[in-house]
Structure 1
Amino acid sequence: MGGAFLAAAVLARLGGRIGLPTIPLFILAGILLGPHTPGWVLLKDPHELEMLSALGLVLLLFYLGLEFHLDDLKAGGRRMAFAGAAYLVLNVGAGLGFGLALGWGTPEALVLAGVLGISSSAIVTKVLVDLRRIGNAETKPILGIIVVEDIFLALYLAALQPILSGADSLAAASVDAGKAFGFLLLLALAARFGTRAVGRLIGTEDNELLVISFLGAAVFVAGVSEWFGVADAIGAFMVGLMLGSTSSGPRIMKLVHPLRDAFGAIFFFAFGLSIDPGDLPVVLWPVLAAVAVTLVMNVIAGVSAARIHGFGAQPAANISTTLLARGEFALILATMAAGAGLDERLSPFIAGYVLLLAVLGPLAAGQSHWLAKVLPGRDKDVPPQVTDVSPTKEPSAAR
């Protein structure tokens, strides 16, 4: 664990001198020190960091929930739902079509629909924090799309599991989907009506007790969410949504910063450990084609979301590039596909695709002004680059 922290820190410092974002550098550190590359191996089994990696994902999404206030969700709910639905139709539909065009099989195509269609919540959150765009106007629809994706994710996984396991029971799949949706509804009701009670329960002047309380709540609800078939990330997000609206919200946001940055780095490092570069040449051309499809679909979806919200070219470019990265969910699907005995090319394809977009996404987001120059629309209503400068919202420690 110490070696992982130090390796991530050294590479991030070196990359920061030439303006590289931290996310691909954390991933690169994991690849270089993992079991699949020559030289010194820090960890032979990437699963040894599995719990710490999960904690990093939970804290990243918990912080995202703290930033995403209920008033924002209620005010833009309909437009966010339209933008999220448009994003899913374009990207999941393109992923399904791409999978069928590859000819690897129908179950493989259904897996690729999710791989190409769902953004990485962890990377999106980290990009917004690192680029200090939390306060940008277009960040609200970005977060709304992430929420819609997470809701879709719970239902998609519940429907996909019987297909991968060979089960032919529609009733069993319906029960799993209903259980997931019911728990999501329960979390939404708690966030809507239980904020005051939660605030009284968690409120304390002692920082030590406050840290223990919010950390315990986020991790516990994330674990229960997973048990109900809902992504642990959305459970942590909903806890952050509730606590962010309490009187303790600003203090929690400040206290969670170092935890989020430290364990977020471990999440991306562990992601790098799981990648075997030797498997990538076999699927190089399909990976490049899939990346091109995703780039095109994200630009179309970004422009659509910007128009729904009345934004111009620069916000559209920010939406398109921020949502570009794929990550943790794609790796979950790769694991499921391998366990189901699907086409052996699927796992290296997913690894290569995710690695390229995990690197390209943050880089493209940082240079989104170049894309804005060729997109339609003018930025007369929304400032092109509004940065987050409030005193409680500090830049990433890794940055």
Structure 2
Amino acid sequence: MLSPTLVLEVGIAVFLVAIVGLLANRLRFSVIPFFIIVGMVVGQHAPQFGHIDLTFTASKPFIDFMGRLGVLFLLFYLGLEFSVGRLMKSGKAIVTGGSIYVALNFVSGLLIGWLMDLPFKEAMVLCGVMTSSSTAIVAKVLTDLKRTANPETEIIMGMIMFDDLFIAMHISFLSGLILTGGTSFWSVLGTSMLALGFILAFLVLGRKLVPAIDKLLQDKSPELFILIVFSLLFIIAGFSETIHVAEAIGALMAGLVFADSKYIKKIEGLVAPYRDFFGAMFFFSFGLSIDMYTLGGAVGWAGVAAVVTILGNLASGYFAAKFAGRKPKASFDIGFTLSARGEFSIIMANIGKAGALMPVIQSFVVVYVLILSIVSPLLTKESRNLWYLLFGKDQAPVKTKKTLEQLEEAIKQSP
């Protein structure tokens, strides 16, 4: 039975999210850690006022569902932002830099998992968590710092696209390993191959359906337009879940298909408010599920992992800048920007939770995401100053001044 105060509690939750969002914008920080923190603060330890439950116990299932929609809209919008064709045209520098980025971060996850003595499933979740950069934070930081037109930004976004495609495959692998209860190598491989086939089918066949989709959307009223788009999004995401492919991947594939539509700008304009609203509720609902008093044991490991992540990303930034022919100082811009962690890390933590993995994974992800979602934007903002502090400014060539006698001699010798 639904709580009689459900609407009021949801209203209070949205109001709290709005307040901390305003605070984050005033401080010029990423809003993601603020959404998570306010969820933790009120989630399990808030006082009750009469019939109003600020722990949101009764309304949490509904808020969780709103968060689930947030994942779909975040991934769908991400798919709208790029196409596979763009990735293929990004060049050797981005593919090579992206491969090094994925390899270094994945190995870092294996190292931290080994040091923490985690079982195989938990270690695989940890590897995904430490490999997945936050597209939302990266895009916001680049916009806030007015660096979208900088040469290194193309490399950053290309590496983000490469990483996102890898994470899509890794989420599918985790779904087969954890959610379907696969215990043998062959059962996990079969589920992973099914996910790969699903993704490839969408990349190949989905784009051929774009003309039919455009015809369906042609000359439709705003309400019919958005109903058609949303119905296709939910059907594709829901269908992918039935074949044990994470619904987030289905949403991403739907976005990739719609990215080639001639109505892409209109679709983006309609979806963006839903992405922002439900995305905020996704991070808030994640915070609600965390008991802040259980995080102490994960602080040390998360701090070590954050340092390892930043160092690994600086290394991948160096190679990406080198292959692209950029100056070495661009490695700091690339590495610090890509160090942000957010939505994908939380999605994989939720997979671990759904699979009843060790609770330390949830605690680790909370602290790890909070550290890097705060520190990464700050380091990105000061990346140039940090480079100059460590390596000094580039010395401009000094022009030798000619003496008066040399100038007079040059005039005499001129025709």
TM surpasses 0.5? yes
1:84 aligns with 2:98: yes
* Alpha-carbon distance change, 84 to 194 in structure 1, aligned in 2, over 3 angstroms: farther
Partner of 2:306: 291
* Alpha-carbon distance change, 310 to 175 in structure 1, aligned in 2, over 3 angstroms: same
* Alpha-carbon distance change, 250 to 373 in structure 1, aligned in 2, over 3 angstroms: farther
1:9 aligns with 2:15: no
* Alpha-carbon distance change, 337 to 212 in structure 1, aligned in 2, over 3 angstroms: closer
Report the CA distance between 1:94 and its aligned residue. 1.0
Picking from 199, 202, 210, the partner of 1:184 is 199
* Alpha-carbon distance change, 103 to 171 in structure 1, aligned in 2, over 3 angstroms: closer
Distance 1:217 1:373 in 2: 50
Q: Which runs of 5+ in 1 are unaligned?
A: 380-399
Partner of 1:384: none
Aligned length: 379
Partner of 2:337: 322
* Alpha-carbon distance change, 28 to 293 in structure 1, aligned in 2, over 3 angstroms: same
Report the CA distance between 1:375 and its aligned residue. 8.4
Distance 1:166 1:230 in 2: 13
Partner of 2:29: 20
Report the CA distance between 1:75 and its aligned residue. 1.4
1:31 aligns with 2:50: no
Partner of 1:194: 209
1:44 aligns with 2:53: no
Partners of 1:92 and 1:118 within 8 A in 2: no
Whichever residue aligns with residue 3 of structure 1, its letter is: I
Report the CA distance between 1:189 and its aligned residue. 0.9
Partners of 2:95 and 2:162 within 8 A in 1: yes
* Alpha-carbon distance change, 313 to 377 in structure 1, aligned in 2, over 3 angstroms: farther
SS in 2 for 1:251: helix
- Of structures 1 and 2, the larger Rg is shown by 2
Q: Which runs of 5+ in 2 are unaligned?
A: 1-9, 395-415
Aligned-residue sequence identity (percent) comes to 35
Partner of 2:123: 109
CA RMSD of aligned residues (A): 3.4
Partners of 2:47 and 2:55 within 8 A in 1: no
1:272 aligns with 2:287: yes
Report the CA distance between 1:88 and its aligned residue. 1.2
Distance 1:377 1:236 in 2: 46
1:169 aligns with 2:169: no
Partner of 1:68: 82
User: Which has the larger displacement, 243-252 or 41-50?
Assistant: 41-50
Partner of 1:212: 227
Distance 2:103 2:68 in 1: 29
Report the CA distance between 1:262 and its aligned residue. 1.7
User: Which has the larger displacement, 309-318 or 13-22?
Assistant: 309-318
Partner of 2:111: 97
Partners of 2:41 and 2:292 within 8 A in 1: no
Whichever residue aligns with residue 2 of structure 1, its letter is: G
Distance 2:167 2:268 in 1: 27
* Alpha-carbon distance change, 179 to 207 in structure 1, aligned in 2, over 3 angstroms: same
1:257 aligns with 2:278: no
Distance 1:129 1:216 in 2: 31
Whichever residue aligns with residue 277 of structure 2, its letter is: A
Partners of 2:102 and 2:163 within 8 A in 1: yes
Picking from 331, 351, 360, the partner of 2:375 is 360
* Alpha-carbon distance change, 21 to 367 in structure 1, aligned in 2, over 3 angstroms: farther
Whichever residue aligns with residue 44 of structure 1, its letter is: T
Distance 1:140 1:369 in 2: 18
Distance 1:65 1:156 in 2: 17
1:348 aligns with 2:357: no
Instruction: Report the TM-score when normalising by structure 1.
Output: 0.80
Whichever residue aligns with residue 102 of structure 2, its letter is: L
